[in-house]
Amino acid sequence: MPMPGTNTIDLRSDTKTQPDAQMRLAMSEAEVGDDKSNEDPTVRRLEEMSAEVLGKEAGLFVVSGTMGNLVSIKTQTRPGQEIICERQAHIYLWEGGGISVICDLLPRLIPGVHGVMDLDDVEAAISNGSNVHVGATGLIEIENTHNMAGGTTLSVEQTRAICDLAHAHGIPVHCDGARIFNAAVALGVDPAELAAPVDSIQFCFSKGLGAPVGSMICGPRDFIEAARSVRNVIGGAMRQAGVIAAACIVALDEAPKRLHEDHEHARKIADTLVELPGVSVDLATVQTNIVNLEVRREDVDAQSLCHALDAYDILAIPRSDVEIRLVTHKNVNDEDTERVCQALREVLA
Ligand code: TLP
């Protein structure tokens, strides 16, 4: 694995950001207590702030997005049920099969367009358990923004429509909102509007918001109390977690204001790429901070393009033989974006 230097532009993920001076200061000064017994004042403040921002009753701090999804899903389902999610959902592809290994659920996959599932497909996939051959649908999961589709958003209307359908069948909806603030900024809506229709949501401080560690589950108070027990069972209860929550408070206060810059940078990189021979980007998917590109040429493939970018001190990783994902974040500024565009022109022109 490459070790990024001070001049490196790391486009592998928005999880690669470094905590800034303000975060480090807040961490060093944080008032802390034993969070396992709910006594850490900084964690409690972060949970309250998060719940308020998302318009939910309560919040629960967890170490990662994976844990946020797992705890939310396990809390709302029973072993043997089915979970409906998009075919390329992060919970299905990239979370080690936790929905099956730990939650004992069978994923029922729906192909989406730009990550958005068709309502008729979802309705057809819902099972009420009356057929002994099929487990009942325990939960429907949505992802906003959708990682694999290229950071695409689900609008308030689309979110509401799927939740109305689910609720009409008595089924709860969980939102993997790892990048819900990116979605809110891109759509020009309050994040609480995107969270309002869903029963539970998790979002990450360690992606676009730029904190070093942490995710938050938000929902009704009784759900959060049940989720607290599940977090404990899987060993996710922390002790003096205020040292990390302090950085997350800074992230929550400061980052949403600047996410539009990440989106502009991604758009600039995408606009550069579409001008280059043998490279394609579906510009309709470039809505936030992710650019998915395909390179189909004799002289260069995804692997060799990433190697060529290494020489410019730009880090990217192939997603397949022909695909690369580039992600912008708070450690990629205007000048860096220009450097990336210039390097791409030199390598691919
Ligand atoms: N995504 C990561 C990893 O896939 C490597 C990335 O770089 O994009 N939901 C979504 C939509 C995510 O994109 C991720 C992380 C997670 C959940 C899991 O979060 P963590 O990594 O904190 O467990």
**Ligand 1: centre distance to CA 88 (Å):** 13
Residues 229-242 have pLDDT tens digits of 999 999 999 999 99
The reply to whether ligand 1 has any atom less than 6 angstroms from the CB of 178 is yes
**How confident is residue 1, by pLDDT bands cut at 50, 70 and 90?**
low
pLDDT at 3 over 80: no
Neighbouring residues of 322: CB distance < 8 A, sequence distance ≥ 6: 294, 295, 296, 301, 302
- C-beta atoms surrounding 77 within 10 Å: 22
Q: Which of 295, 296, 299, 297 is nearest to 326 (CA)?
A: 295
SS3 state of residue 12: coil
- Global pTM? 0.97
Residues 37-82 have pLDDT tens digits of 999 999 999 999 999 999 999 999 999 999 999 999 999 999 999 9
Across residues 196-213, what is the average pLDDT?
A: 98
H or E element that contains 230: helix 221-233
Nearest Cα residue to atom 20 of ligand 1: 65
CA distance readout (Å), 339 to 271, 274, 307: 14, 17, 16
Mean pLDDT (the chain, rounded): 97
d(CA 226, CA 233): 11
Q: Are 156 and 182 in contact (CB under 8 A)?
A: no
**Ligand 1: centre distance to CA 90 (Å):** 7
Nearest Cα residue to atom 8 of ligand 1: 13
**How confident is residue 2, by pLDDT bands cut at 50, 70 and 90?**
low
Main-chain phi, psi angles of 108, to 5 degrees: -110, 110
**Domains assigned to the chain:** 9-16+258-348 (3.90.1150.10), 21-255 (3.40.640.10)
**How confident is residue 4, by pLDDT bands cut at 50, 70 and 90?**
confident
Nearest Cα residue to atom 21 of ligand 1: 65
Across residues 129-153, what is the average pLDDT?
A: 96
Residues 8-30 have pLDDT tens digits of 999 999 999 999 999 999 999 99
Chain centroid, CA 5 distance in Å: 26
**Ligand 1: centre distance to CA 14 (Å):** 9
**Ligand 1: centre distance to CA 94 (Å):** 8
- Tokens standing for 18? 């470094």
The reply to whether ligand 1 has any atom less than 6 angstroms from the CB of 143 is yes
Q: What percent of the chain has pLDDT over 70?
A: 99
pLDDT of residue 153: 98
Q: Is 262 left (phi over 0), alpha (psi -120 to 50) or beta?
A: alpha
Across residues 206-227, what is the average pLDDT?
A: 98
